[in-house]
Structure 1
Amino acid sequence: MSFGSRAASGRGMHAWRWLFILTMLVLLALLLGTGMKPVEAQSPPLEEASPVPQEGVVPGEILVKFEPSAPSTNKKRVHGKKGGRTKEVIPEIEVEVVQVAPGQEEARAADYQEDPNVRYAEPNGVYRAVETRSRRSDGAKANWTPSDSRVGGQWAFNNTGRNGWTRDADIDAFEAWDVTRGSRDVPVAVLDSGVSPSHEDLPKAAETVNFSKSPTPDDAYGHGTHVAGTVAARTDNGTTGVAGTCPRCTLYNVKVLDDSGNGSYSSVAKGVRWAANHGAKVINMSLAGTGYSRTLKEAVDHAWGKGAVLVAAAGNGETNARFYPAAYRNVVAVAATDQDDRKAVFSSYGSSWVDVAAPGVGILSTTQDGRYGRKSGTSMATPHVAGVAGLVWSNSSGADARNESVRQKIEEAVDPIGGTGASSLGKGRINACKAVGGSCDLNGSRR
């Protein structure tokens, strides 16, 4: 081939190259003009994901709240796109419990959160019963002293100063009972690990429901029965057992913790909602965790809006870090004190979020095996406050019969606490007698 032929051939190839580039540019412009987009990567099917163990969350579950304006077709599209499947919907707060790949809870929640149809998404975290260690126990006067054989060991009600303790470092329950011992019209819901149905010293629960993973609403863990006894044990029933803070209050057994003492955000939220919808005047939550749940906050706000007083343990973290649900605005956060009216060594604290304190060391109450024992923890302090709330409700009428008023009376009717860290335990240690407007100068009271 001559040089002239090679040059002509080269010019032809050069022209074809430019023609190919122009063609590709035109095609690209057409694709963009029609709004076509590259194929997006899809979330892996549940069975194909590689589980990554995580502590503190329910494996394979997240909580998703869609915007109220999102139509059902958009919700289905979002689930299909994100690789989730609705397991159930918590009524009224309309939060979906969504199944995702185990080990991918954080990633999938973040993925859902990016969609404009989603108001919020979060892993279904875990709260726990908050007690320290327990030990078995076999084992003062006011105008009315119950006849229960072990009431003398309930120092939280009437601290006589024995064992070198500080006299009257208690909630003045005996004096409060001169005013009221509660009312059957005031249900107190115990959201916990269940309540023993056969304990001789516990009233039969008027309502029982189970939102935990356990197959039974009974207490196999041993936490809820102890809490229930502090709230509403049968009182003044001859030679049997212990007394309850609000002896005549009605008891609801709302199981939200499993037989290991753990409960998910969703189970606690369902329990709170159920209790409020079934007329509970007081909701006791002797459980805590460091995770902030928007789902549970919505349930708490719903219950507060229905008129309930909610009480929760501040946690046993020995720290000022916030624990939930106690740290929500519409919950009374309860720290623990000891027999000398000082902060219990294990108790969490915080002047910006703890509301009150109550006795929480060596608390004698009912146990799930039909016996009696002592436990310590903010879990044990909390039912004292719930019981006092029941007493205040029972003694309230008219404008005072509102949850805002009941809470205010509890938080204002307190005694000062001494010792290091006292200012970080809220307004003070509760006083049942003051809260119900009683005469609180009995028993050598300091007031």
Structure 2
Amino acid sequence: MTKRLAAVFLSLLLLLIALPVSAQAPTVANNKVPGRVLVKFKESTPPNIVNERLDKLNTRIAARINKLNVLVLNVPRFQEEIVISALSKIPYVEFAEPDFVATALTATNDLSLSQQWGMFKVVAADNSSPSAWDITTGSSSTKIAILDTGIDQDHEDLAGKIVANQNFTNSSTVDDLYGHGTHVGGIAAAITNNATGVAGIGYDSTLMNGKVLDDSGSGYYSWIANGIVWATDNGAKVINMSLGGSSGSSTLQNAVNYAVNNGVVVVAAAGNSGNPSRTYPAYYSNVIAVAATDSNDNKASWSSYGSWVDVAAPGVDIYSTFP
């Protein structure tokens, strides 16, 4: 099996553990970030023109997503739509839009391989042996980027698995203070055959820890887009995003396109609305969208669904690592 095929197969195993929302997940009534706007000027735009137009609108560049040529702007609060409208009328501008909020799609946690019913559903058709592991257990050269709330660096099932760390949030640490990213990392690549804790699907793979959600489980689309670009540029074969927002975004779409165009498999949770409403980035056609099933192979009552969902898989009471 070639490295490319192995990476694709591993990503399919990984996505087959969906992550449902829990009572702890934050709710967002208005998912636009106050005081922030995203804008993309055409690449041919002279820098002095960019600065001049932004100064006139009383905005300040807070960050850049360089590979996407997107600027993250701080704007006066309650003036976001006015600024977006004004920017959109400038001939040099390709698009201007709000920065939106995504949240972790959270699952419960526990230990013990014997309790990992979802694992056996995925790796063993007859629930008697982990047959998929006979095909691949991953590889140290296969980097799985977990874009989430961070990963516990000292966890006994994850120590030594993390080969890259980057914090894109306003948190003071790349570590996981919320618990979700560590849970996802364990599903992906927890150390296996160590008589401790849980088993990871691709346990021979390595992890990239991209913290794109803060310590409350929420994150800006601009953080996520930056994380996607970082993971792509640093050798990720698979990007997993067990998170979602309710609004589409040119910035987020462009980040996904950048990853896919560079050969990365992108996986995202379909959401927990219990209806066909769209969840982003899972809704994008080049992202593998994963809905959730229970231990009886029925769709979880809260799981999002629809023609845009690619696969449904275990997502109720999924056991994994926890800080």
Partners in 2 of 1:173 and 1:217 — Cα distance?
36
Task: Report the CA distance between 1:179 and its aligned residue.
Answer: 2.2
Instruction: Give me the whole-angstrom Cα distance separating, in 2, the residues matched to 1:173 and 1:283.
Output: 27
Query: Given the alignment of the two structures, is residue 335 of structure 1 paired with residue 297 of structure 2, yes or no?
Result: no
* Counterpart in the other structure of 1:118: 93
Name 1:348's counterpart in structure 2.
304
1:228 to 185, 190, 197: 185
Instruction: Check conservation: 1:169, 1:339, Cα contact below 8 A.
Output: no
- Counterpart-to-counterpart distance in 1, 2:38 and 2:263: 26
Measured against aligned partners, the alpha-carbon deviations of 1:270-308 in whole angstroms (never above 9, x if no partner) come to 000000000000000000011111111111111111110
| Offset at residue 169 of structure 1 (A) | 8.5
1:65 is the counterpart of 2:40? yes
Task: Tell me the TM-score normalized by structure 1.
Answer: 0.63
| 1:360 corresponds to | 315
2:3 aligned residue: none
In structure 2, C-alpha distance between the alignment counterparts of 1:173 and 1:83, rounded to whole Å: 62
Amino acid at match of 2:266: L
**Alignment partner, residue 83 of structure 1:** 58
Distance in structure 1 (CA, Å) of the matches to 2:126 and 2:254: 36
Report the 3-state secondary structure (helix = DSSP H, G, I; strand = E; otherwise coil) of the residue aligned with 1:74: helix
- Are residues 1:315 and 2:271 paired? yes
TM-score (norm 2): 0.86
Q: Which amino acid aligns with 1:320?
A: P
Structure 1 segment 283-322 matched on structure 2, within 5 A: 283-322=239-278
Matched, 1:158 2:120: yes
What is the RMSD of the two structures over their aligned residues, measured on CA atoms?
1.9
More strand by percentage: 2
Per-residue deviation, 1:244: 0.4
Could you tell me which amino acid in structure 1 is paired with residue 77 of structure 2?
Answer: P
Aligned residues: 293
**Is the Cα contact below 8 Å between 1:201 and 1:366 reproduced in 2?**
yes
Residues 1:185 and 2:141 aligned together: yes
- Distance (whole Å) between structure 1 residues aligned to residue 77 and residue 282 of structure 2: 29
Contact 2:113 2:197 in 1 (8 A): yes
C-alpha distance in 2, partners of 1:169/1:283?
29
Contact 1:203/1:232 (<8 A) preserved: no
8 Å Cα contact 2:121-2:314 kept in structure 1? no
Secondary structure in structure 2 of the residue aligned to 1:329: coil
Matched-pair contact (CA < 8 Å) for 1:276–1:306? yes
Which residue of structure 2 lines up, in the alignment, with residue 218 of structure 1?
Answer: 175
1:269 to 202, 225, 246: 225
- Other structure's SS at 1:157 match: helix
The corresponding residue for 2:211 is 255
Alignment of 1:365-384 (within 5 A): 365-368=320-323
Deviates more, 1:83-92 or 1:185-194: 83-92
- Report Cα offsets for 1:81-112 as digits up to 9, x if no partner: 22211122211111001110022222321221
Counterpart position of 2:13: none
1:278 is matched with which residue? 234
For residues 153 and 56 of structure 2, the distance between their equivalents in structure 1, rounded to whole angstroms, comes to: 47
The answer to whether the 8 A contact 2:267-2:289 is kept is yes
* 1:255 CA drift (Å): 0.4
Match of residue 104 from structure 2: 129
For the Cα contact (< 8 Å) 1:131–1:316, is it kept in 2? no
Is contact 2:224-2:252 (8 Å) kept?
A: yes
Unaligned runs of 5+ in 1: 1-53, 140-149, 161-166, 369-447
Matched residue, 1:104:
79
SS at match of 2:98: strand
Give aligned-pair identity as a percent. Answer: 47
Counterpart secondary structure, 2:97: strand
**What is the Cα deviation at residue 73 of structure 1?**
2.2
Alpha-carbon displacement from aligned partner over 1:102-143 (angstroms, at most 9, x marks no partner) = 2222232122112111110011111100126x3x64x6xxxx
Residues 156 and 169, structure 1, Cα contact 8 Å, conserved in 2: no
2:8 — aligned with what?
none
Specify whether residues 350 and 72 from structure 1 end up closer, same or farther in structure 2 by C-alpha distance, changes over 3 A only. same
* Aligned amino acid, residue 96 of structure 1: L
* Distance of aligned partners of 1:173 and 1:66 in 2 relative to their CA distance in 1, 3 Å threshold: farther
Secondary structure in 2 matching 1:281 = strand
SS of corresponding position for 1:96: strand
Q: Cα distance 1:173–1:323, how it changes in 2: closer, same or farther (>3 A)?
A: farther
Unmatched segments (≥5 aa) in structure 2: 1-28
Cα distance in 2, alignment partners of residues 159 and 93 from structure 1: 39
Give the structure with the larger helix fraction. 1
SS in 1 for 2:166: strand
Q: Which has the higher contact order (CA 8 A, sep 6+)?
A: 2
